[in-house]
Chains A and B, each alone.
Chain A
């Protein structure tokens, strides 16, 4: 079919190249030359070559044997790394008998059979060597010597102690701290400035990637592989070689220029910060994988710099490495460069928030406020339902039930409805607070009411879902579930959906007949949400589910790190929900992919509210958080003196929340 897979091609003979049948046939890839690292894993690369490795006596399986001596001067001590067309050895220079002078020897194999091409390969090598020998920069290893012997060419270089950045990243638990990465980026810019200002022609490194940068014990970097560095000549069509994943898109048009190195540096920084290896991702997909999605600790300013370096259009990138360095130096994190500090967000970045008002109830507020017609209604464990003026928090009235109120009130048809631990559903006049009717159940009520179709729908710990006429307070029907019902029912156009403690999510018709049922592994306390013909819910089995509204098929599910009690909120194509693992999650509603997550210090049972590009959510750590809905970055937080289980409500630019410190708070949204 004339189609080939990039990955597959690496493992297959290339028909275009003769001499494939040797016993020591090895496959080598020019783009993966490395020093200081064992043989690289197979990587997608655009150019692969296959070679026959001859076996001179001083070699074992194509490699120089330990103890072998080259030119009567360099004794091989071992292999440092292999890849591409070369192997790198650690060797001792015998011309310095009194000291142990250790060097690195890069061994390049000339596989060409055509004499003219053989000669060209040698010339290329010697050009690379002499170019490197002229460079003098602390971040570029010194070249001591070079020579060619038969089908082999050798480059003798300064031995660089340390680890390459890819290895450093792999061995780091969690993420690398931003100041450390910024420090490296500045150092790399400095060496790029040196190369790009080389006279008479700039030198393009062309293979910037974490594995080509060595880090020594003093936190200094060295660029270790100039294997494909080319003298830059404007407009010249170069050979297309480069590790796919880091290389700039224009390289595929044969263009190599300094801004290509800036792109590759951006790609390397993206990898170092996000821990996502671009060689395993679609090509040039950095902008689709913003760093904050995997690592929310990285500052927006640094992400902006990385994004600019990664612009597809060269003209949109930094014009030079100098310009990029200046931008990096302007970062807050550049001021702490070089010091190892934990990569946490600095508190000073977070705006202070002050409450507009707060109102003290006589016991914990677990109920979520409802705001209607300028009045805030909320229940408290002091048995009262409170009505407060939403604007200034002034007390209007309260109504005492005979038990604590965890149920969140619902307002409709001029009445406010709520359940209580005293097993009764109450309907009060929303204006005066006078009792209109009560409806007793046989269990405590933690479920919150929902009003539709002239009925109140509410669950009880007596395992029943009730449909109660809003005018008369009479039970129209009740549906027996398999467990206590503590979630708020969701009412669709022709069905009611609710979860119970058995883990069942039931869909029942408006006349009370079962339509379908979905069984989670643990209780469903989270209230279901209907959106886009889908139903979203959380379960104590740690998952967030998206179900097809008609059939109950699971479309996708997402596993959090703990039971999910929080109820989902949807804004546009993003779903927000909290989990007992302390995180607030933003998921793509169509496929359940993680958009971002935000870590609080304790369980998040509170349900998020979305308003004007911000997500508001409480945590058991006592804070109310305001997060950027797109990025998950913290806008502000406010500490109450007790856990926040209550879910925030937002109306007319004010966000309201209750806390177990007995208070109800109001903040500017």
Chain B
């Protein structure tokens, strides 16, 4: 998790987060969640075989709350988000499971109906705002396009709306900037424009796929602030995908840690960051530099590399990299995939007993976190 070294305000202390997110609605019991993903499996067929990019993923996103999905590259975070909108390559992808959005099943929904949802009720922001915006049309035109498509507004109303949205996301002189092209904007401004574009139809769910990864740290903090403010204002549910635990600490109410296409740990941001219970989460946390504690605490990266999703290891996919596989008796970690047992939204997919988890965390892991 080297990429998080440049974040300053993102130690998983949870102080800022509790203050800022106090107004968020309480978590419901999950069954009638706004977005509910159940046992999602996304398999690609490639020349080398079937890639199990997502393998039995379940999560919920509630209205007005933010679920952060965190994991290494290739853990299936982005694939899951693209699948929600049906933006995967339909010919090469096999999808199983359920994606229910506001009571409607999205996986079986025909493309035509999905299109009406995209950008209108569910919208998306991407990692690199330069390549995610068309270079051939003005920023205003690209914002207005969505508004006209979904709300049937005429050209001048949509243009006025684009100016309003640019103003809303904090772009100075929106009346002139609306006619600029993306290459006239700086990186942070482009991401603001992207956010304006995604929120122009006042969607209920915003999927943010690494929205701050391509930005420098100060701009990153501004964009996160903006997203939080807009969430308060619009009550949008946010699915926030990142590899950066610091960003998660600032943004999310709930966290889902993904590994090799599965969820390995789930809980509120406080629970997961202050009291993590999965060896992989421990690895992620202890590989982050701790700027508030001693500077000479060594970083402890997760050893090894993520498994190939073509042939994932049997049993727990994390066992080849796990330091505690031997603590569990017998061959269970190597043969039996652990299930994510949920109680009140908190869960860990690990064979370690609750006592072992607690003991190892206090003895081995916490000292590294400072």
Q: Do A and B belong to a common assembly? A: no
| Residues of A in contact with B (beta carbons under 8 Å apart) | none
